[in-house]
Amino acid sequence: MKNESVVTEFILLGIPHTEGLEAMLFALFLSFYIFTLTGNLLILLAIVSSTQLHTPMYFFLCKLSVCDIFFPSVSSPKMLFYLSGNSRAISYAGCVSQVFFYHFLGCTECFLFTVMAYDRFVAICHPLRYTVIMSHRACSILAAGTSFFGCIQATFLTTLTFQLPYCGPNEVDYYFCDIPVMLKLACADTSSLEMVGFISVGLMPLSCFLLILTSYSCIVGSILQIRSAEGRRRAFSTCSAHLTAILLSFMPVVLIYLQPTPNPWLNATVQVLNNLVTPMLNPLIYSLRNKDVKSSLRRVLQQVTLLSEKR
C-alpha cells in the first residue's frame, strides 16, 4: 500500500456533541465492553465444554462469538483510553489498522450470518441429508471462506481509502477511523472513490441479505408443513434468534453507509450500538431461547463457582 501522506498521526475528536460527558461515557462504554467480552467468552466455554453442542450450528455460533469479542476491540480500547483523559492521537498505521480490522470482522460476520442461514436451511429443509451436507470438512471450508472473503473486502476498502494523499487536516470528527470520515480529510477528489466504496459496501451486505432471505423463505415453507406443534415451535424459536441477530447487524450498515446525506451524530450513535451493544446482545439472543446452551452455561458457571470457592 503506497503512502503518499505527510500526515503521521490523526486526532480522534470523539462522538459529536458529547463534550463534558467523558466520565459518564467512559463508565457506560466500559460496562458494555466488559459485558460483551464476558458474555461471548461464556458462550464459547459453554459450547466447547459440552459435547452435546459440538454440531455445525454451534460451531458457527462459536465463530460468531470470536468475531463479537474482536469486533468491539477494534475501536473500544482506544476510545476508552482517550475518554479517561489520555491522548486522542492515533498513528497513521493505527488508523489504517482500525479501518482494515473493522471491515474485516464486519464483513466476516456478514458472510457468517449467510452461512448460518444456509445451515438452518439444510437442517430444516433437508434433515435426512444434513450430516452429509454439513460435514466437518464442509463446515471448516465455509468458516474459512467467511474470513477469506472478509479479508478480500476489507483489503479492497482499506486500499481504496489510504491510497489517497493525506496532507492537511488531521482531525477525525469521529471516535474511530472509518471510511466516510477519512475521505473528508483526503487532499484529493474523492467523488469517484466514494461511489466505488458506496457500491462495494452496499452490494456485499445486499447480496448476503438476499441469500439469507432466500434461505428463510424456504425454511418458513418447510416449517409450515411440520405437523407437530412442538416441532414448529422449536424450529421457529431457533430461526427467530438468528433473524433477530441478523437484523441487529444489517440495519446499522444501511443507516451508516447508505445514507444520501450523512449525519455525524446519528452515525456515531448507530456505530456505538453496532460496535458495543449488538455484540453484547448476541450471546443473550442465542442463549436465552436455547435450552441446551442454557444448561451448558449453568454447568460452566457452577464449575467456575466451585473453583473460586476452593481458592
| pLDDT score for 285 | 79
**pLDDT at position 1 over 50:** no
Average pLDDT along the chain: 84
H or E segment at 144? helix 136-162
By the 8 A CB rule, do 216 and 246 touch?
A: no
Q: pLDDT band at residue 311, thresholds of 50, 70 and 90?
A: low
> What does each C-alpha distance from 69 to 40, 75, 160, 199, 277 come to in angstroms?
7, 12, 27, 28, 12
Burial 155-191 (b: 16+ CB within 10 A, else e): eebbebbbebebeeebebbbbbbbbbbbbebbeeebe
Greater confidence, 295 or 128? 128
> Worst-scoring range by mean pLDDT, 45-49, 65-69, 267-271?
267-271
Which class for 253: exposed (0-12), middle (13-18), buried (19 or more C-beta within 10 A)? buried
| pLDDT score for 309 | 66
CB atoms within 10 A of CB 210: 11
Most confident of 35-39, 180-184, 250-254, 258-262: 35-39
Q: Give tens-digit pLDDT for 214-239.
A: 998 888 888 878 777 776 777 777 67
Which class for 2: exposed (0-12), middle (13-18), buried (19 or more C-beta within 10 A)? exposed
9-301 belongs to which homologous superfamily?
A: Rhodopsin 7-helix transmembrane proteins (1.20.1070.10)
| pLDDT score for 193 | 75
**pLDDT at position 96 over 90:** yes
**Beta pairing class for 9-12 and 171-172:** parallel
| pLDDT score for 5 | 45
Most confident of 131-135, 244-248, 272-276: 131-135
Q: How much of the chain exceeds pLDDT 70, in percent?
A: 88
Q: What is the pTM assigned to this prediction?
A: 0.86
Q: Give tens-digit pLDDT for 20-63.
A: 888 999 999 999 999 999 989 988 888 888 888 889 988 998 99
Q: pLDDT band at residue 14, thresholds of 50, 70 and 90?
A: confident
| pLDDT score for 56 | 92
**pLDDT at position 241 over 80:** no
Rounded to 10 degrees, the C-alpha dihedral 210/214/217/218 comes to -170
Q: How much of the chain exceeds pLDDT 90, in percent?
A: 36
Q: Which three cell numbers stand for residue 2?
A: 503506497
Q: pLDDT band at residue 257, thresholds of 50, 70 and 90?
A: low
**pLDDT at position 250 over 90:** no
**pLDDT at position 298 over 50:** yes
Task: Quote the CA–CA distance of 283 and 128 in Å, as a whole number.
Answer: 29
| pLDDT score for 259 | 62
